[in-house]
Amino acid sequence: MNTLHALASIGVILVAGAFVAAHPETRKPSPAASPIYGVTLPEGYRQWELIAPALEAAPLNEIRAVVGNRIAAEAYRRGAQPFPDGTVLVKLAWKQQPSAAFATATVPGAPTTVQVMVKDAKKYAATGGWGYGRFVDGKPVDEAQHRTCFACHEARAKEHDDVFTHYAP
């Protein structure tokens, strides 16, 4: 390859790189993103503020914790619904497990799902302003499961911006 060729090749690579950077939608969709919504597991959610715990009876027998990012926590404290854009809620879930150390205590066992709701009123206008993602072992579950999210949240939590969880006192 002569120098001119080399320079031309570098030019093509630079232009292509600049194009992808300027047009993020041309990047390949991340395999870690949920179908339909393109929601991913948010970084650092394990350090987020607790909104409320929950228990799910048989047959699932789960312990759950809903946490929120700073925008979510502040909106809850202000009682500001609808939730503002940028709100992210994450629901962690584990199997209920009897404590090996203390007979009457129940502790988190194996993790089951991590579920995410992201508020973007414009992007997700068709689903009440929320994008949904359900993850098992860090990977999104199939499209069929994602078709159920909005319908249930909208049918039963409409008066609270499609969000079931209230701030635990």
- Cβ proximity to ligand HEC: between 1 and 155 the closer is 155
148 touching ligand HEC, by CB under 6 A:
yes
CA-closest candidate to residue 91, choices 143, 153, 37, 29 = 153
Q: Restricting to residues 101-130, name those near ligand HEC by CB under 6 A.
A: 115-117
* Sign of the CA dihedral running 127, 128, 130, 134: negative
* Whole-number Å distance between alpha carbons of 113 and 56: 13
* Whole-number Å distance between alpha carbons of 89 and 69: 7
- Cβ proximity to ligand HEC: between 18 and 117 the closer is 117
Number of residues that bind ligand HEC (CB under 6 A): 22
Binding stretches for ligand HEC (CB under 6 A): 54, 56, 64, 66, 89, 91, 115-117, 132-134, 145-146, 148-149, 152-153, 157, 163-165
